Amino acid sequence: MKAPLASLTAAPLAEVAQALRRRAVSPVELVDAYQERIERTANLRAFITPPGQRARREAQRAKQQLARRGAGALLGVPIAIKDLFATRGVRTTAGSRILRDWVPSADAALVTRLRAAGAVLFGKTNLHEFAYGVTTANPWWGVARNPRDVRRSPGGSSGGSAIAVVAGLCAAALGSDTGGSIRIPASLCGCVGLKPTYGTLPLDGAVPLGWSLDHAGPLTRTVEDAGILFDALSGGRAWRQAQRVATRGLRVGLLHDSIVRPLQPGVSNQLEKAAAALRRHGLRVRDVRLPEMGWTVVTQLVTLRAEASAAHAQWIRARPRAYGRDVRIRLQLGALVAGADYVLAQRMRAKITQAVRGVFDDVDILLLPTTPITAPMVGERTVRWRTGAEPVDGALVRLTAPFNLTGVPALSIPYGEVSGLPVGLQVVGRWNDEARVLAVGRLIEALASR
């Protein structure tokens, strides 16, 4: 591989798009370079359906459009798609055995928007079966591996998308997030993941898991890339607005409640370093408490169990053995959730949302870790704390799920490492305030590199 191409496969989306616009590289050359890397890293199990000749044909068309100075913010840029979003003429499995032969006749809404922006659709990435889990240990399509350490989990459910970004197998990727499924793999693998405000990005044509919790969003190498891709997906101008946001004087709330404890010492240290760096740059950092957050774990559990079981009601009754064991058990348990319990969970959810709304009267941004641990070993089931054991799955969603329940935007940014493994910090903002979230995220990203 030519040296410039080798460096470009590890470059941010913004740099890739610029190189394509300058015609310093052609989309076909770029696709071939990524494809070569995909073949060399097959052991990571990043893709269920790798990009093939169809992607190369799209790249050829993009090359012609670039020669004619065609429009499109992502013209010729290879974007990987979580295999939960329908793609016309390309198999869409949702990581399942049940849909292993489904070839949709129409694109999901966000895939349509990516095409309109000129992106090259670059394969379908691996995920936890039906997105119902946080490990991407897929029984049908292979156990995904963390590119930073193949003995470790990449997280999930958008594990394949995060792997593809971090391993340099695409310029960026599309993921989905129901309890942390964009932000968790971003944290564990070491990339940027944005869960925007609930409802901002359409989910038509995406296989549902929890209707009131599902979000879509980008996984990228940089905060700028996340902003560029989010704007292409939303048709908005959040990234342009973010570049005009003055961060000095912003009020940052450090969440201090039972839900944030325990943390691995290294994760806690990185959070403290980030808070100190923000203070030095003129942001007003203070501790805040949200005791209602203590109810988020059970509220999320009841809500998701009921909604996922409703979404899968027909298949789980007719074909229970067509599911992997962990997902089958979750769906069967969800069928036992009483209607009264679901209603009570929504009442508590409203109280949590109101508490979050109240805290944003006092601060502009919340800052907390994305995950309380770095990447666990593949197959590891419990985290050992001084106070006892916690299930790995529970630990990984503990700090992300509250923001699915409330629907506020949340961004995970890499900030430092612990024993060679990345730490993710989470920036959370008011509803529809992605611009400020991105602006603070960009500042934290810059501070992390110093």
- Helices then strands, counting H and E runs in the chain, come out as 17, 15
Q: Is 278 exposed, middle or buried (0-12, 13-18, 19+ CB in 10 A)?
A: buried
| Catalytic-labelled residue, pool 63, 82, 124, 195 | 82
Residues 6+ apart with CB under 8 A from 190: 148, 166, 414, 422, 424
| Catalytic member of 181, 187, 234, 309 | 181
Tokens of 356: 């979050």
277 within 8 A of 413, measured Cβ to Cβ:
no
Provide the residue type at 231 as one letter: D
Amino acid at 60: Q
Q: What are phi and psi of 249, to 5 degrees?
A: 90, -10
Joined together, the tokens standing for residue 406 give: 């409330």
Q: Do the beta carbons of residue 339 and residue 305 sit within 8 Å?
A: no
Residues 274/367, Cβ–Cβ less than 8 Å = yes
Other C-beta atoms closer than 10 Å to the C-beta of 249 total 9
Question: How many of the other CB atoms lie within 10 Å of CB of 279?
Answer: 13
SS3 363: coil
Is 82 a residue of the active site?
A: yes
Determine which one of 26, 96, 153, 157 is catalytic: 157
**CA-to-CA distance for 163 and 323, rounded, in angstroms?**
24
- C-alpha–C-alpha distance, residues 123 and 53, integer Å: 10
Q: Are 103 and 59 in contact (CB under 8 A)?
A: no
Nearest alpha carbon to residue 424 among 434, 433, 413: 413
Q: Name the DSSP class of 283.
A: -
Residue 157 designated active-site: yes
The residues, any chain, with a CB within 8 Å of residue 58's CB and separated by 6 or more, are: 27, 120, 121
**Which run of H or E residues covers position 390?**
strand 388-391
What the block records as the tokens of 285 is 């950092």
What whole-number distance in Å separates Cα of residue 79 and Cα of residue 77?
6
The continuous run of DSSP H or E covering 365 comes out as strand 365-369
Helix locations, 312-363, DSSP H: 313-318, 325-334, 339-359
Q: Strands 251-255, 365-369: parallel, antiparallel or unpaired by DSSP?
A: parallel
Which residues are marked as active site? 82, 157, 181
